[in-house]
Amino acid sequence: MRQTIAALFLAGTLSAGAQTLTMAVGAPVTSLDAHFHQLSPNNAVASMLFDRLVNTDAQARNVPGLAESWTAIAPDIWEFRLRRGVRFHNGQEFTAEDVAFTIARVPNVPNSPSSFAGFVRPITRVEIVDPHTIRFSTNGPYPLLPQDLSNIYILDSTTHAQATTEQFNAGPMAVGTGPFRLIRHANGDRIELERNAEYWGTAPAFARVNYRMITNDSARAAALLAGDVDVIDQVPTADLARLRTDSRVALAETVGLRVIYLSFDHSRDDATPFVTDNDGRPIARNPLKDVRVRRALSMAIDRAAITSRVMEGSATPSGQFLPPGIFSHVPDIAAPAFDAEGARRLLAEAGFPQGFRITLHGPNDRYPNDGRIIQAIGQMWTRIGVRTAIDAQTWTTFVARAGRAEFSAFLIGWGSNPEGSHPLRNLIACQSRERGWGNSNRGRYCNEALDQGLVRALQTLDDADRERQLMALQRQAFEDVAIVPLHIQTNIWAARRGFEVTPRADELSLAQSVRPAAAR
Amino acid sequence: MSGVVLAPVETPLRRFVSEFFASSIAAIGLAVFVVIALAAIFAPWIAPQNPYDLAVLDIMDGRLEPGAVGGSGMTHWLGTDDQGRDMLSGIIYGLRISLLVGVGSAFIACMVGASLGMLAAYAGGRTDSVIMRVVDLQLSFPTILAALMILAFLGKGVMNVVIALVLVEWAYYARTVRGSALVERRREYIEAAICLALPTRRILFNHLLPNCLPPLIVVGTMQIARAIALEATLSFLGLGVPITEPSLGLLIANGYEYMLSGKYWISFYPGIALLITIVSINLVGDQLRDVLNPRLKK
Amino acid sequence: MQSGFVMLAMSLLVFLGVYAVGDPVEILISPDADQFERERAVRALGLDLPLWQQYLVFLGRALQGDLGRSFVFNEPAIQIILQRMPATLELAFGSMFLSILIGLPLGLYAGLKPDSPVSKGIMATSILGFSLPTFWVGLMLIMVFAVQLGWLPSTGRGDTAEILGTRWSFLTWDGLRHILLPAINLSLFKISLVIRLTRAGVRETMLMDYVKFARAKGLSPNRVTFVHVFKNILIPVVTVVGLELGGTIAFSVVTESVFAWPGMGKLIIDSINVLDRPVIVAYLLMIVLMFIVINLVVDIVYTMLDPRVRLEAKA
């Protein structure tokens, strides 16, 4: 017994050396099975253990992963050329067989609460040309296939033939081609990793990684300040001001892909449940169907005040889905300017010179400061005569009700793929089972002309042409105030002196993004 | 106490009052509690601002330090929170909510629990076992988890919190009262009352209840304090009162995120207010307990 | 028998309560999943059946010891909870240990010398223990001892050592350093409780005739205190501390979230946040079972310690 204690104590002291990275993340990892649950924290861990055909860089651009290159050799056939000499952690060689096996496994993971099947469904046929060339046929031209495959982690056809999710979680099956190997997985607490010395890409900077989960924001920040961890993600905005001035800590920030926006009830032409006149009586027609009312409510919001005061600078005001520098960002859509006078005029024009009453709903435990943002908007709307009540609920209650279109106005967020068609398809397009669109269109906006344009854009293989079309469609959507974007969040990591983080637009916290800082 | 000196008449009430005020700490506790209760009741007339009216708040006044002057020219003696809410006003209104939740839920739970507990002890037999099975069912479930589940079901709201707290706490009173009532029931005076064929109601409320009171008061005091703290915890976990009408607990929870960054006042002052409130209640309860406990007499 | 009835009633209540809240598929599914994928997920999680059928399926499996499979971990719910249990148990026992260690002597002192200023100080402090919200104290502890003074680690469980296939942190120095703050945080309430119970017990017992008699007989004050008084006050303290074990384990929900302590309480909060219903139900039922067992044990111990209760039961 005493020996155990001594040995552990020794191990504890040794692991404190410079070769170990301890990072704390805010969201719990639930599974090491890369195809079980499509969830950012799980994807982050998968990105350390496994590789994809198409990897993504810090700016969310597609870069060669296990595929060295890819081209559409016919309008409906993509060919991927695979990297040679790559081995799995257990020594198995990576070949096209493994890709075919992976594509077949993805839709068939038992009990998956959110599978990756949607990313491989466009593939109608897989053809192995030779061990290092593979072709995918799609139903008609499908420009997004490389993008979709950047979500699929490649497993080994022999090792993983019978692998269950439990075996991944327990460790023996968590074998990939990625930059790190798994040492230990303590569910909900920590994941211990070691460097994969044979990694085909850039070697990771640290020999060992202790990847801890600390979901409480303040506790995570305190752990960094106390020196227990070297890097944290999801830095709480309340602590930003202090951390910015703390010489022991360096922040790494980049504009992310998550837009926070307001959605209005488009589904009801008659009375909408949470809008009444100033005496509390229902209004026979839904004022939110009038584009002037929607625009007035958007103009009444002082986005700069929200990003500076509530978000403490960790967000950028926006009038669209995507930030500058991302494919299909529209340079000529500015964040709507704050204009309370103009908003009052527009309301009067729309027949509401005295305003009305509304309840603004939102979650209070989902996005940074979500509850505070809706209160701030409540203040701003009340000032233009729209007396606003705030109802913030837990995400679990909120999202179920929002999904049933029970609210008149609500705040919610969306993390985009770096492609304008992704938010357009899911947030703006009419809900359609056949097309698989409008999946998160909780305001039920619907504009058939826009959808037709989107169908055309999604069949355009030429990137430049498709980008032009997607920009035009976004202009159309925001001209009609389909939703009201507020801001795009900034992703922030904080590191102790001696560590340097490359911030990622996709929010993933990866150990390979951290390096020892250059000596100062 | 007028100038006329009357011969002190030794009524139970007088004796109780004089014994209670024998402890100066308890007297101070009672005085503080009365002041707090008055502040809570008359909040709209005392508070410099109505912190629930979004129209008077301005986020540009957010997180001002204590003593700072806001955009509207108002001095915020205890600073402001992230929404620009005047902390002093927020605390006074928050007291109102916290006291309402704490005292309200404790009172209702006590009524329900004590009645059922006495009934169980007095009636015995099947009534007793049915009531006590339900009590067991209730006590076999931790307060915080039960409250969490009930609130997840009911949703946020002051009334919902009170309902949840009553539902999770009545059993404590029932158990306590039944326990002491069982002991008291075997005593001679009850047997005498039964022999005199006094009405059941009269035996229950005039004879049994007063003698079960001391433990009930101890439990009651503890439960008020617990209810207030529990409400704060529920708010901290995201299920409690609505964010636009914060109780003391929710104010603390809100400010909690700002503690590390040095903006202590958002969490600190509501914390102090909560502390003073609960401590004063407990001081009063403590003294009541000592005064009312017949076994400590003489 | 009665316990079985309580379990059955609770299983129904808990199941219906948990399954009435929210929509797990909406929470768990990727927001860009199409209708087809959503329907697949509903079937995969067994949510396509009517509620009563889901309950019967659950009950049938529960009778065979299977409380369902976690939606997010895809492992048996029981197994997930058992993995997390040691962490919570050692936290709960650590805090109970602290509460007795600190509370009993202080309460004894306050009861024996009720009028000394030290006793008044102890009692005033014990009121603080009741009054301060756990989560706030937790952050204060982190702020002072981890961030400002740097004496103790702020969060997490630290190194663990393995015995009997389970990992415990009280066996390593690093583990002990990690457990101290959360255990103190969790014990504050109970320290106050023990102080108050002990003091009240001592004060009452000192007035009892047999204690007066013992003193009149000229027994040494120490003997009176530690044999006659102590034995008598142990009953309420044992009862309450025993009853509090379940409450402590349940209340560790808060402490565990503040200190990122990877126990069951943390698991249940995470599970509530993602509506992992099988884990919530399994956890709640295990808590119920634990309460039943604890109550039973306390009853037995109580009967052994207090002859009056024994007489009552016979009567």
Residue C230's alpha-carbon distances to A247, A252, C109, C222, in angstroms, are: 56, 60, 12, 10
- Domains of chain B: which residue ranges? 86-293
Chain A segment 211-230 residues within 8 A of C by beta carbon are: 212-216, 218-220, 222-223, 225-228
Residue A108: pLDDT above 60? Answer: yes
Mean pLDDT over C299-311 rounds to 64
Q: What gap in Å lies between CA A87 and CA C116, rounded to an integer?
A: 76
pLDDT in tens, B10-21: 677 777 788 888
* A394, A406, A407, A411, best to mutate vs chain B, most B CBs in 10 Å: A394
At B108, the pLDDT band (50, 70, 90 cuts) reads: very high
From C71's Cα to the closest Cα of chain A, the distance in A is 6
DSSP string of A257-283, one letter each residue: EEEEEEEE--S-SB--TTEE-TTSPBP
pLDDT at C306 over 70: no
Least confident interval from A116-125, A187-196, A378-387, C103-112:
C103-112
pLDDT(C265) > 70: yes
Closest-CA distance, A483 to chain C, in angstroms, reads 17
How many other C-beta atoms are found inside a 10 Å radius of the C-beta of residue A466?
22
Q: Say how many Å lie between the first and final Cα of chain A, rounded.
A: 44
> Is the pLDDT reported for residue C165 higher than 80?
no
Burial class (CB in 10 A: 0-12, 13-18, 19+), A137: middle
Cβ–Cβ gap C207/B145 under 8 Å: no
Domain boundaries, chain A: 50-163, 257-489
- Is A442 in CB contact (< 8 Å) with chain C? no
Q: Tally the C-alpha atoms within 13 A of residue B123's C-alpha that lie toward its C-beta.
A: 15
pLDDT per position as a tens digit, A391-402:
998 898 899 899
**Are A110 and C74 a contacting pair at CB < 8 A?**
yes
The two beta strands, A133-138 and A123-130, are antiparallel
pLDDT of C308 strictly over 80:
no
Q: Is residue A346 predicted with pLDDT exceeding 90?
A: yes
The pLDDT of residue B73: 82
Do residues A483 and A443 make contact, with C-beta atoms less than 8 angstroms apart? Answer: yes
Tell me whether strands A249-264 and A387-393 are parallel, antiparallel or unpaired. unpaired
A-C C-beta contacts closer than 8 Å: 191
**In Å, how far is C33's CA from the nearest CA of chain B?**
26
pLDDT at C271: 87
Structure confidence at residue A214 (pLDDT): 87
pLDDT band at residue A11 using 50, 70 and 90 as cut-offs = very low
Size of chain B in residues: 298
pLDDT confidence band for A82 (50 / 70 / 90) = very high
Nearest chain A CA: its distance from B90 CA (Å): 15
Q: Which of A48-62, B218-232, C87-101 has the lowest mean pLDDT?
A: B218-232
Query: Average pLDDT in the B81-90 region?
Result: 90
What fold does the segment set B86-293 form as a domain? MetI-like fold (1.10.3720)
Helix or strand run (H / E) with residue A343? helix A340-349
Lowest mean pLDDT segment, chosen from A298-302, A415-419, B116-120: B116-120
Residue A134 confidence (pLDDT) above 60: yes
Task: Provide the CATH number for the domain formed by A50-163 in this structure.
Answer: 3.90.76.10
CB contact under 8 A, B145 and C288: no
Q: Are A386 and A359 in contact (CB under 8 A)?
A: no
Question: Is pLDDT above 90 for A316?
Answer: yes
Residue A219 has pLDDT above 70, yes or no: yes
The closest CB to that of A219, out of C74, C260, C262, belongs to C260
**pLDDT tier for residue A270 given thresholds of 50, 70 and 90:** very high
Comparing CB atoms, the residue among B238, B242, B261 nearest residue A239 is B261
pLDDT confidence of residue A449: 95
Q: What is the pLDDT of residue B148?
A: 81
In angstroms and rounded to an integer, the radius of gyration of the C-alpha atoms of chain A is: 25
Residue with tokens 């969201």: A27
Dihedral (CA of C164, C165, C169, C172) sign: positive
Residue A114 is classified by DSSP as B
Select from A221, A364, A371 the Cβ nearest to the Cβ of B260: A221
Test B55 with A382 for CB contact under 8 angstroms: yes
Closest listed residue to residue C291, CA positions, set B166, B131, B137, B113: B137
Cα separation, C287 vs C293, in Å, equals 10
Q: What is the dihedral of CA A256, A258, A259, A262, to 10 degrees?
A: -160
Q: What is the mean pLDDT of residues A6-16?
A: 40
Interface test with C, best of A15, A31, A111, A260 (most C CBs within 10 A): A111
Give, as one character, the DSSP assignment of residue A115: -
The pLDDT mean for chain A works out to: 92
Of residues A113 and A7, the one with the higher pLDDT is: A113
Better-scored residue on pLDDT, B105 or C174: B105
Per-residue pLDDT at A384 exceeds 70? yes
A26: nearest CA partner in chain C:
C260
Q: Which residues of A touch B58 (CB under 8 A)?
A: 379
How confident is the model over C19-66, as pLDDT tens digits?
Answer: 887 788 988 998 888 888 899 999 988 888 888 888 998 888 888 888
Model pTM score: 0.87
* pLDDT score for B140: 66
- For residue C238, give both structure tokens: 């044992």
Give residue B132's pLDDT. 85
Q: Average the pLDDT over A479-489 and give the result.
A: 97
Q: Environment class of residue A201 by beta-carbon count within 10 Å: exposed (0-12), middle (13-18) or buried (19+)?
A: middle
Min Cα distance B163 → chain C (Å) is 16
DSSP assignment, residue A54?
Answer: E
- How many whole angstroms separate alpha carbon A92 and alpha carbon A451? 46
Helix (H, G, I), strand (E, B) or coil at C101: helix
What's the CATH number of domain A257-489, 3.10.105.10, 3.30.1330.10, 1.10.357.10, 3.40.1480.10? 3.10.105.10
What are A484's two structure tokens? 């009201």
Q: What average pLDDT does chain B have?
A: 82
In angstroms, what separates the C-alpha of C158 from chain B's closest C-alpha?
23
Burial of B40 (0-12, 13-18, 19+ CB in 10 A): buried
Best residue in A148, A248, A422, A439 to probe C by mutation, most C CBs within 10 Å? Answer: A439
What ipTM score was computed for the predicted complex, to two decimals?
Answer: 0.83
List Cβ neighbours of C39 (8 Å cut-off, separation of 6 or more).
none
Partners of residue B158 in chain A, C-beta under 8 Å: none
**Which member of A217, A391, A396 has the closest CB to residue B257?**
A217
Which of C74, C143, C270 lies closest to A188 in CB terms? C270
Average pLDDT, integer, range A203-230: 89
Cβ neighbours of residue A78 closer than 8 Å, sequence gap 6 or more: A70, A71, A72, A135, A136, A138, A142, A145, A146
- Chain C residues touching residue A225 (CB < 8 angstroms): 147
- Label residue B237 by pLDDT band (50, 70, 90): confident
Among chain B residues, the shortest Cα distance to A244 is held by B261
